[in-house]
Amino acid sequence: MKMRTLGNSGLEVSALGLGCMGMSWAYGPAPDKAEMIALLRKAVELGVTFFDTAEVYGPFTNEDLLGEALEPVRDRVVIATKFGFDLTVDRSAGPGFNSKPDHIREVVDASLKRLRTDRIDLLYQHRVDPEVQMEDVAGAVKDLIAAGKVKHFGLSEAGAQSIRRAHAVQPVTALQSEYSLWQREPEAEILPLLAELGIGFVPYSPLGRGFLTGAITAETLFDKNDFRARLPRFQEDAMAANTKLVELIQAIAAQLDASAAQVALAWLLAQQDWIVPIPGTTKLSRLQENLAATDLTLSAEQLAQIDQASKAVEIVGARYLPAMEAATGR
């Protein structure tokens, strides 16, 4: 497995990480726990060292899963988790943010227990909390780093101003935000800023929550517990329009004897050497397919072709429902 370093932090991880949310939440009925433990341990055998979770995934069950699966190999892996929500309130009325310093400390102590570890390698603020000064958030994480409970500080879906303010208090190791061939907004302002500050970038949903693989079409019916069923971008009309992008990726993949997923991941990996995508899966075959993307090299001509064609496709539909969409880029 090729390795990459997240910005100037010195934190080295596998070139592809593993997003673990879907192993216990979000995409329909939760898979069998024993099967997911086996998959996580197989990922380590295959060279994956970077695993992404959050307290809100479940809630809590995803951290429990990783704690049990990775405890025997703890010193071989980098575990990232997140804080930023109040999970005691009814979040159906809104996101329920809480990044108050006292709450951050409580979340970290609870996460450490669930993850069966004495330190969190990378701790993200899941979303910027408009009610708490970023300097106070970064200061709280700085104290946790000084105490040895956290190794590195990260932000998720933060805007440029928030990144600068946080970085001035406690160096930010990585920003995690959605970035893929159908979500290219970070290129305008965020990627140049990360390059300037020496911050790594961790794209989540690098395969468009499965859409860029070609496995999802306008005819796809989602389980009632699959949150994609509620997202504007996954409504039938939007998916029908967005298929143009998938067809482009599939055409390039056919030329390379590769899959659409591999092309989409290889394109991301080619953007910067400090970018580490974290595709999620619950299937060993998909994990192996994704990891093979690290050995797929796209030529300058192919990259230019993908870039030009993808920019010509107008993506239809918002990423999230309004409340969560408004919480990105703050």
Residues with catalytic function:
57
Peptide bond into 192 cis (omega under 30): no
Tell me how far CA of residue 261 lies from CA of 11, 209, 222, in angstroms. Answer: 26, 11, 20
Q: By C-alpha distance, which of 251, 133, 236, 127 is closest to 181?
A: 251
Contact 123, 144 (CB under 8 A): yes
Omega within 30 of 0 (cis) for the link into 59: yes
Rounded CA-CA distance 49/75 in Å is 10
75 within 8 A of 106, measured Cβ to Cβ: no
DSSP secondary structure letters along 33-102: HHHHHHHHHHHHHTT--EEE--TTTTTTHHHHHHHHHHGGGGGG-EEEEEE-B-TTS-GGGS--B---HH
| Measured distance CA(289)–CA(25) in Å, rounded | 22
- The residues pairing with 275 across neighbouring beta strands, listed in sequence order, are 201
- Nearest Cα neighbor of 252 from 299, 312, 314, 315 is 299
Element (H, E) at 173: strand 172-178
| Structure token digits, residue 302 | 């192919």
Beta bridge partners of 200: 174
CA–CA dist 180, 37 (Å, integer):
28
